[in-house]
Structure 1
Amino acid sequence: MARIAWVTDSTSCITQEEAKKLGIHIIPVSIFMENQIYKDGVDITPDEFYSKLETVTELPKTSQPTVGEFSDFYEVLKQDYDCAIAIHVSEKFSGTINGSRLGAEMAGFPVHIVDSKIISESMKQLLLKGMKLEEEGLEAEEIASVLRETANHVKGYVCIGNLEQLRKGGRLSGAGFLVGNLLQIKPILTFDDGSLVPFEKIRTLKRAESRVLSLFEEAAEQNGAYGVSVVYSGSSEKAEDWLHLLKEKYPNITFNLGQLSPAVGVHVGAGTLGILWFEE
């Protein structure tokens, strides 16, 4: 059988320790923050990033891996592997997939690219599913096909806890930000075919978080759910409360907890909380 390299980018929120243990190869996103350049997950951890984020005066920025970086990355991998399966952040969020594809062509290395149509822990769940299929004897092309179909069933709701971060990034007008703050409006976003789109606006953070939970519960009871992840940025306290509550209510479902990486945190800020899963 072909030797398959498992690849992802750092928006998957997989730590270097996890990657080493699982045999996953991560290409990092670059973070530009206060005149410094950090490689996500390599030069800066999520905890370090969110701590720095509290005091920055200028919005951090991200830069996807370049085609040259991908080419070098794949040149190394092709010394030990016959091909790769690369699971990347949604193509509608970033040009990472195109960079990966072009880099693989430059390196002359066969890479089966999967658009996860999402971010974070769900990318990890796709990787784990793919690795299991490899153990079962499926070829790389077959595995990639199954994972692409699985990605079509990813769902999620996210409660943005920090409107200021959205305003700084130009994703919310100044007037909208002011009204949102005065009325304590908290937007809930959802994933729609790889795009993150507005779903509802709820007054007060507490009500918005309760609504996200109820949306998941409705979906899980109607369509089933697996590979469920509670994701957060900054403090883990509320996410851990959610995890405990969900585990008690749904003992037959496996739940995961994941902190959003700096590459994601740049865009959503601290205080974001969400649930991601796959429909059965």
Structure 2
Amino acid sequence: MYKILVDSCGELSEEMRAGGHFVNIPLILRVDNEEIVDDESFDQKTFLAKVASSSNEPKSACPSPDAYMKWMEGESDHIYIVTLSSKLSGSYASASLGKELYEEEYGDAKKIHVFDSRSASIGESLIGLKIEELEEEGLPFEEVVSQTQDYIEKQHTFFVLETLETLRKSGRLSGLAATIIKALNIKPVMGSTEEGSIQKLGQERGMTRALMKMVRCLMEVTPDPQNRVLAIAHCNCPERAQMVKAQVEKLAHFKKILILDTAGVSSMYANDGGIIMAG
């Protein structure tokens, strides 16, 4: 038996939840003095309204080692943990510590591995699906880990933001720059680096042109789309996600394309109207 623990920056589809192998480990979101648990109770619409009305930067706190240890208990003898990029969050360090503490207390009868996704959002989701695929093929634990790590190294994540307000509130973008960018309708196209940090890939005037550039960036680094699953996450903009899917399908045939709504942490960073893509 096996479990796949994914911190709540990774979206889980209804199918993934129903299968019994996936568990979301919630982060905590903070808007002003209010704490919001990023679990099944998360209300995206209410959260986005709180973020929009606050002059302060929304923040998140990673799960504790105990939160991960709780799900290492039970009958599953293979435990896989997928976390936000270690360059973006303390979730990986917390999960790694949870693994160490669990093994100190209970020994190494169970096989446990913590993956640094070097990604976020649906990038984590796809890694979890890869683990499930390999486990269902009956591969040994060590081979699942090896092939999943290879998958992570070949994965790419991209995103385009509708608004840069969160960056402005965090001090990463000056008020003057934010005003100019908004006035010119400039949309930056962002992507993950090999180490799991974030880089700017370019920018376009207008959301549609920026999304098309994001699709082109994806195709440039995906030589074998027919053998890969593509995932698109949207923050409160399903029509925009469908448009991106249609543009991708004009250029390539992927094995499967998933569309998911962003959960709490991803909604905080993508903000209203943001699109994330991983493959």
TM range (shorter): 0.7 to 0.9
Superposed CA deviations along residues 235-265 of structure 1, whole A, max 9, x for unmatched, are: 2221122223434554454211122221122
Alignment match, 1:188: 189
SS at match of 2:68: helix
Alignment match, 1:228: 230
The TM-score normalised by the length of structure 2 is 0.87
Displacement, 1:228?
0.8
Residue 57 (structure 2) pairs with residue 59 (structure 1):
yes
**Correspondence list, 1:1-280, <5 A:** 3-14=1-12, 18-71=16-69, 73-74=70-71, 77-108=72-103, 110-193=111-194, 194-220=196-222, 223-225=223-225, 226-247=228-249, 249-251=251-253, 253-277=255-279
> Partners of 1:129 and 1:61 in 2: how far apart?
30
Displacement, 1:69?
2.8
> Partners of 1:43 and 1:17 in 2: how far apart?
18
CA contact (8 A) 1:28 1:42 kept: no
Superposed CA deviations along residues 164-222 of structure 1, whole A, max 9, x for unmatched, are: 221112221223212212332221111111111111122233321222223334444xx
> Partners of 2:181 and 2:202 in 1: how far apart?
13
CA contact (8 A) 1:112 1:140 kept: no
CA contact (8 A) 2:161 2:270 kept: yes
CA contact (8 A) 2:212 2:247 kept: no
Superposed CA deviations along residues 98-154 of structure 1, whole A, max 9, x for unmatched, are: 100111221226421111111122222221221221122212222111111110001
CA contact (8 A) 1:34 1:58 kept: yes
> Partners of 1:180 and 1:87 in 2: how far apart?
35
Distance change in 2, residues 1:20/1:169 (3 Å): farther
Amino acid at match of 2:216: S
SS at match of 1:37: strand
Runs of 4+ in 1 over 4 A off after TM superposition: none
CA contact (8 A) 2:122 2:277 kept: no
CA contact (8 A) 2:215 2:247 kept: no
Superposed CA deviations along residues 6-44 of structure 1, whole A, max 9, x for unmatched, are: 111111111577424342122101011243222112331
> Partners of 2:252 and 2:240 in 1: how far apart?
18
CA contact (8 A) 1:156 1:191 kept: yes
Unaligned runs of 5+ in 1: none
Amino acid at match of 1:181: K
Larger displacement relative to structure 2 (194-203 or 238-247) = 238-247
CA contact (8 A) 2:83 2:117 kept: yes
SS at match of 1:152: helix
Q: Figure out how many residues of one structure are paired with residues of the other and give that number.
A: 270
Displacement, 1:65?
0.7
Displacement, 1:160?
1.6
Identity %: 21
Amino acid at match of 1:154: Q
> Partners of 1:137 and 1:256 in 2: how far apart?
24
> Partners of 1:145 and 1:46 in 2: how far apart?
36
